Structure 1
Amino acid sequence: MEKVDYIIVGAGSAGCILAERLSTDPQTSVLLLEAGGPDTSPWVSLPLGYGKLTTDPKRTWRFMTEPDEGLGGRSIYWPRGRLVGGSGSINAMVYCRGLPGDFEDWASSGAVGWAWQDVKSAFERLETKVTPLGEKQGKGLIHVQNITNQIHKVNRHFHAAVREIGLPWSDDFNGDDPEGGGIYHINTRDGRRCSSARAFLRPALARRNLTVRTNAQARRILFSGKTAQGIELLTGETLFARREVILSAGAIGSPQLLQVSGIGPGRLLNGLGIPVLHDNENVGGNLQDHLAANFTFRAREATLNAVLRPLLGKALAALQYAATRKGPLSLSVNQCGGFLRSRHDLDRPDQQLYFNPISYRMVPSRSGSRLTVDPFNGFIICAQPARPTSRGRIEIRSADSTVAPAIRPNSLATEEDRQTVIDGGRLCQKLMSSKALSALVEGSVAPHLSDLDDDGILADFRSRASTVFHPVSTCRMGEDRETAVVDSRLKVHGIDRLRVVDASAFPNITSGNTNAPTMMLALKGADLILEDQGRDIQ
């Protein structure tokens, strides 16, 4: 039996930050549990290596959704990180705080203290912004790299198209004016991935009061009455926390662990023979995610395909990276895009766009599938509805925590979501009809965007759209116990000494990539835990 002050379940983007912050006091002992292995693979450090990691069975939870009626009855692959760093070790590293209005939505939905002005300072503490010339602004551990001087030259056509059709351009999606087309910032440092595992956890490993255990999967939470006491591992080993148990297992793992431990919908738990400790229908509910479907075009000039498809190009890129830590291997393929309004009557952007100077497809492999670059000069454009209103669910199938839960996204269940998909398709058509992008296009790859009417855009989206890997809100935050799982201090309603600190606690989805707000939530969440223990926040 092991006893520590804090047990954190999940060494992902949130858990690594919590472990570092809570262990700053040498008198406080912290145990961080990770079901997967370490993040030591060179593919994790290499920014473009995520193309291999998202299908790697050793480092990825290879979830599949239930057949989704809104997507033509298809089951969609949902990879999540199964290693130190979690999904922050396998993602494309696009760093977007989200729009200020997203956090006003959080506050209006009942998350007290999480409005934009409340969270802005946490983002600033998290970040060091690095200019194209290498100048640094801020003192945060996560380096946010401006790659304006490194992106592929074909992106200039997207910039020109945005301007041509009268839309704004933003110089910094994480600045005071994030609306518009622009260039994505990425969380890299010296050409390597700068995840919370690398930035926060790794330096803290020298502390004697912090223990990290990999390949240690939780079976259930242990309780005395309605007070969390510790964790039982799959091995049968029991671990006890003197102060708190904190779940940071993500939007799938955290509700699953709550449910197998008796906290969740009573109807579900009773049906599986699990004693109900606390009946809360919201555990696993309110599931949200971003969806998108790529449109691929052949280009009249060289794109990244010309570098990353041929063996010689790959070899030269590898040599460049080894010598300088620069070049295409040091970047994400998600280089341009932005937050744009598809209609003038909207009060804020309803679309997140991606313009990638490369095209690729999934092909079968021994591990299931892999990404391969197309054998022609190609590029991709797509629109992602920013704030979907449909709500899905995560529900366990068994009391056995090794059995993957049922993931029911319930995509496109509302008329608003369906109309937003159509509006996004129309926006992409408008951009592709501009002189700037028309001059770049040699031809399109089926389905042909220009041929689609409103019904065709929606039908195509149903048949091809997939996750953008942003599931959130399955343990949503709020003061109303009838609609939330955790309160505004991230404490589980109805249970003592138990918190959830990860993307599952989002009151609703942010407009863009969710890794940055997840790290912000963890940093602010650590502040709340320290405050509740009477400790100063440093």
Structure 2
Amino acid sequence: MRFDYLILGGGSAGAVLAARLSEDPAVTVCLIEAGDTARDIFVRAPALVAAMVAGRPPIHNWAYHTTPQPGLSGRRGFQPRGRGLGGSSAINAMLYLRGQPEDYDGWAGMGAEGWDWQSVKPWFLSSERNMRGASDLHGGAGPLQVGDQRRPCTISRAFVEACGAVDCAPNDDFNGPDQEGAGLYQVTQFWDGSRKGERCSAAAAYLHPVMARANLTVLTRARAERILIEDTRATGALIRRGRKRHRIEAAREVIVSAGAFGSPQILMLSGIGPADHLREIGIEPVLDLPGVGANLHDHLDYIVSYTSPRRDVVGLNPRGLLRLARAAGGWRKHGEGLFASPMAEGGAFLRSEPGLTRPDLQIHFVVGIVDQHMRKPHLADGWSVHICPLRPASRGTVRLASTDPGAAPLIDPGFLSDPRDEALMLRAARLVEKVAETEPLAPWRGRRLYPHDGSDAGLLADIRARADTIYHPVGTCRMGRDAMAVVDPELRLHGIEGLRVVDASVMPRLVSGNTNAPTIMIAERAAAFIRSGRSGD
């Protein structure tokens, strides 16, 4: 089989690329995805995120684990990642955040020319169809439906009031002129049309509506094993589908869009990466590119959870499950209610110290108890307040465990390996404890799940015992011009023609917020690069 463009990975970036590139009827596009089409009830119903993220069983979830983390008392962390069309946008909490303008200006300052805020802003707007309409900071006609939560829980509004205790004022738009403040998240959810109330994943927004195009081939349950390289040009890929291997050729470009873990894995399996590591594994290097799999970083999340004497939150007891079942009926009819909830309804962006010029912490407020990514269920009704430092200093790696393409990669985020992150996490945890103990949340506040002795040592021990990812890994194929950069600012791989990487792995540094909207923006820009003729022909 031969196509003009071959895309490896149908996640948030791959779905956007396949849809945008196939808009040109003169080219042929093939998309390879290891999972399925991700159209089932688990994806469509927002509240069922809890069933998918836990990975037991792994529904649309790679359910990866990290290597033992010295900064987390030697624990192996859990790393849910989406498997299926739409990738992690099919299993996330649907929160629509772009980060701060300074994030993108920082990218440009690190060698990613053309990725400053003013350059990327139009691509955010072109992707977005916000229910509030078009404005200077919002798009009104894009494929991705973004809307307000229609019936958030009462406790979520109480949380917004509670944030006043740490001088965090209300903010009704985290993507507005100023990110700082507390409010309810806007979500990637259908608010218009027959699918009102359903999750609007990247696949649902971009790809599912166009899969019948004659020039677009989508192969699901197919896994890319390695990229085919002749001389210094990518010419296709070897994939496995079922028990058979297939060689698929790309006349113009191979585009790797398998995410912060999958993209470096595919490159290294193809002989592109740090030469010493490849030789240790038993792979003959094609290109010594030391930045492949380096620069991994992620938002580390600490949770304060309470049981609740009130029943208008979520619990996994018979009463709570009955309430969810009843809510499912209302969701089917009207697209609203608890079944339409992202569960992480409220949020805040705040500064850990008064002298800072912009927020460096984010809060996610969840209307249920979250413990070990829902892998440790609790029968009690309850709620959780999560906090993460937005711009961590710690860095880690992705490496191969073996030459087997089916083996999970070795994921080492290096959580709390930089002492600056430890000190900031302590301050962050103190702030979130203060929010949780405020008067507006008192009617719902029962027993704290994991109390400690109140000392810094006791709090740090609890952080090391329980903190883990909030699902924002980036940076493992970062863009730039220096020796550790993997792709250039047009996302073309250094040293190999006809090969790009397009996903969150190219981010030089984490954005100050959730990463799905920026990943979609990156794919929109990449499609424009390619369609403008800068495709390495």
For 1:80 and 1:377, locate their aligned partners in 2 and report how far apart those are by CA, in whole Å. Answer: 27
Q: Does 1:221 align with 2:227?
A: yes
SS of equivalent to 1:123: helix
TM-score (norm 2): 0.93
Contact preservation (8 Å) 2:172, 2:183: yes
| Paired residue type of 1:421 | M
Over residues 279-301 of structure 1, what are the superposed CA-to-partner deviations in whole Å (9 max), with x where a residue is unaligned?
11110000011111211123343
| Paired residue type of 1:315 | A
Task: Note closer, same or farther for the CA distance 1:84–1:343 as it changes in structure 2 (3 Å cut).
Answer: same
Over residues 235-274 of structure 1, what are the superposed CA-to-partner deviations in whole Å (9 max), with x where a residue is unaligned?
3311111100000011111000100111100101112221
Partner of 2:335: 325
For 1:264 and 1:130, locate their aligned partners in 2 and report how far apart those are by CA, in whole Å. Answer: 44
Q: Does 1:269 align with 2:275?
A: no
Offset at 1:498? 0.2
For 1:144 and 1:104, locate their aligned partners in 2 and report how far apart those are by CA, in whole Å. Answer: 25
Partner of 2:414: 410
Partner of 1:200: 206
Partner of 1:139: 141
Contact preservation (8 Å) 1:350, 1:420: no
Contact preservation (8 Å) 1:18, 1:526: yes
Q: Does 1:464 align with 2:466?
A: yes
| Paired residue type of 1:419 | A
SS of equivalent to 1:347: coil
SS of equivalent to 1:43: helix
Over residues 296-338 of structure 1, what are the superposed CA-to-partner deviations in whole Å (9 max), with x where a residue is unaligned?
1233433322698524312311221122111011120101111
Partner of 1:285: 294
Structure 2 gap segments, 5+ residues each: 191-195
Contact preservation (8 Å) 1:66, 1:408: yes
Task: Note closer, same or farther for the CA distance 1:433–1:237 as it changes in structure 2 (3 Å cut).
Answer: closer
Contact preservation (8 Å) 1:358, 1:379: yes
For 2:499 and 2:493, locate their aligned partners in 1 and report how far apart those are by CA, in whole Å. Answer: 6
SS of equivalent to 1:297: strand
Q: Does 1:161 align with 2:173?
A: no
Contact preservation (8 Å) 1:95, 1:516: yes
Q: Does 1:52 align with 2:58?
A: no
Contact preservation (8 Å) 1:13, 1:197: yes
Partner of 1:397: 401
Offset at 1:76? 1.2
How much identity, in percent, do the aligned residues show? Answer: 41
SS of equivalent to 1:516: helix
Partner of 2:193: none
Offset at 1:61? 1.1
For 2:439 and 2:299, locate their aligned partners in 1 and report how far apart those are by CA, in whole Å. Answer: 30
For 1:491 and 1:533, locate their aligned partners in 2 and report how far apart those are by CA, in whole Å. Answer: 10
| Paired residue type of 2:6 | I
For 2:76 and 2:165, locate their aligned partners in 1 and report how far apart those are by CA, in whole Å. Answer: 39
Structure 1 gap segments, 5+ residues each: 364-368
SS of equivalent to 1:231: strand
For 2:132 and 2:48, locate their aligned partners in 1 and report how far apart those are by CA, in whole Å. Answer: 23
SS of equivalent to 1:35: coil
For 2:371 and 2:393, locate their aligned partners in 1 and report how far apart those are by CA, in whole Å. Answer: 29
Q: How does 1:4-403 map to 2 (within 5 A)?
A: 4-54=3-53, 55=55, 56-131=57-132, 138-147=140-149, 149-189=150-190, 190-234=196-240, 235-305=244-314, 310=319, 311-361=321-371, 370=375, 372=377, 374-403=378-407
Contact preservation (8 Å) 1:300, 1:442: yes
Offset at 1:361? 3.8
Task: Note closer, same or farther for the CA distance 1:307–1:257 as it changes in structure 2 (3 Å cut).
Answer: closer
Contact preservation (8 Å) 1:303, 1:378: no
Offset at 1:137? 5.9
Task: Note closer, same or farther for the CA distance 1:95–1:247 as it changes in structure 2 (3 Å cut).
Answer: same
Task: Note closer, same or farther for the CA distance 1:280–1:340 as it changes in structure 2 (3 Å cut).
Answer: same
SS of equivalent to 1:28: coil
Q: How does 1:494-533 map to 2 (within 5 A)?
A: 494-533=495-534
For 1:459 and 1:104, locate their aligned partners in 2 and report how far apart those are by CA, in whole Å. Answer: 36
| Paired residue type of 1:459 | A
Task: Note closer, same or farther for the CA distance 1:44–1:439 as it changes in structure 2 (3 Å cut).
Answer: closer
Task: Note closer, same or farther for the CA distance 1:69–1:495 as it changes in structure 2 (3 Å cut).
Answer: same
Task: Note closer, same or farther for the CA distance 1:90–1:439 as it changes in structure 2 (3 Å cut).
Answer: closer
More deviation in 46-55 or 8-17? 46-55
Offset at 1:394? 0.3
For 1:156 and 1:25, locate their aligned partners in 2 and report how far apart those are by CA, in whole Å. Answer: 46
SS of equivalent to 2:75: coil
Task: Note closer, same or farther for the CA distance 1:309–1:345 as it changes in structure 2 (3 Å cut).
Answer: farther
For 1:309 and 1:382, locate their aligned partners in 2 and report how far apart those are by CA, in whole Å. Answer: 26
For 1:171 and 1:442, locate their aligned partners in 2 and report how far apart those are by CA, in whole Å. Answer: 28
Contact preservation (8 Å) 2:304, 2:436: no
Contact preservation (8 Å) 2:93, 2:344: yes
Over residues 491-519 of structure 1, what are the superposed CA-to-partner deviations in whole Å (9 max), with x where a residue is unaligned?
00111000000011111111111111111
